[in-house]
Structure 1
Amino acid sequence: MASHLDLEEQEQLDQLKAFWNSYGNLITWVLTLALAAYAGWVGWGWWQRDQAVKAAAMYDELDRAAQAGEVDKVTRVFADLKDRHPRTTYAAQAALLAAKLQADKGQADNARASLEWTAANANADEYRDLARLRLAGLQLDAKQYDEAAKTLDAVKSVDFAALVADRRGDLALLQGKPEVAKAEFQKAYAALDKTLDYRRLVEVKLASLGVAVADDADKKVAQ
């Protein structure tokens, strides 16, 4: 009986050896690749968290400098941030903040450069489109009308459609096209939420062109 069991065990062992000889290398490679993939995934997650922490620290430094009005320091920190952590949300936010301060301090060229970088490199569509809207405004100030038109053409988000129309109205006015400006301002006015203060500004622009507007509620009262 013991001899019979020994033979069965030996047969199973031989079968296992044969199986391993046939598939051992494949199994080893599969396990190695699986472990490598897992290690890579864990490492990538750690690297992303590490980058985010470092980017957040740099953004905090930039924000403090911006609140203090230290435009040169803001420009310097932003340059480091976009070089080291360009694909983080902090880099996009820092670019918009830097551009605002640069514009406020009369550094229009630096502001345009910051916004151009954001429009090309920000990690989210909303940041890229917001940068384009602000960039178009600076281009209008610099009388770069063709560039402003191209910048506005690149804004694709429907959330910014009203603001794009408003900017196009400004562009048309500067180009001496009042009828085009009226149409764009009317488009912007219709699309903007009635609770937004900015809508009143568009209303003033329309009034300056001889266009009177009224909300539905105002019309009912008038009737």
Structure 2
Amino acid sequence: MDENYLKQLDAIERIKQMGGLKKSNPNSVRRDRGSLDFQERIKMKLHCESQRHADTIGKKKNASSNDGPPMKKSRLSNSSDLNADDLEKVINSKSKYSALVDIQQEMKQNEYFNAMEKTEKMEQKMINIMQIEVRAVSCKQCKYTALTPSELCKSENHQLLFHKAIKRFFQCTACKQRCYSLDRLPLRACSNCGAESFERTGMMNEKKGPKLAHENLILRGEEMKYINS
């Protein structure tokens, strides 16, 4: 129960103990000034207390119903209190961080392109390599030379000779199938098409992009569809 309301009840109880409020006699010419003043003060006090109690309840209701908007207003008011120096500091801090982000992005791009450049250089180097030196093995009983011994030679304990050899790279002229040989020329036909014509090539094929329209070879010229049909 509210404290003001309790005070109001206490005042009413005191008035009852004093005999209540005396009614004024309308026919009386002279009124009791002391009693009148006391009654007026009590009435005024009760009226003020009741009015204050009503105002307090109304304020509490308004505060409970408007909890959200006042917070927003206070935030807006706080943000509007920023002066020019504060705004300049905020802008400078943002520009500083944006500069750091730009530097970081530029560093990442440089790392990416440096890695791509190294990869392209390595690919170009492998394209230009036609032969490399390797460790090979030869079997006198089976009369072959290869990079690794066969399972038959291992199981029968053939006499194996390990030595250095030259590994050469070739491709079939017909189907462009790649192969290698430890001799000067491949001793077997192409495993893909059976052709026996080979040409030297690099350790890695050159990457070719899609051909442009003017790069396509048209032997009979440009063909027009649906002419004279």
Structure 2 length normalisation: TM-score? 0.28
Larger radius of gyration: 2
Higher percent of residues as helix: 1
TM-score (norm 1): 0.29
Which protein has the bigger strand share?
2
For CA contacts below 8 A with separation 6 or more, give which structure has more relative contact order.
Answer: 2
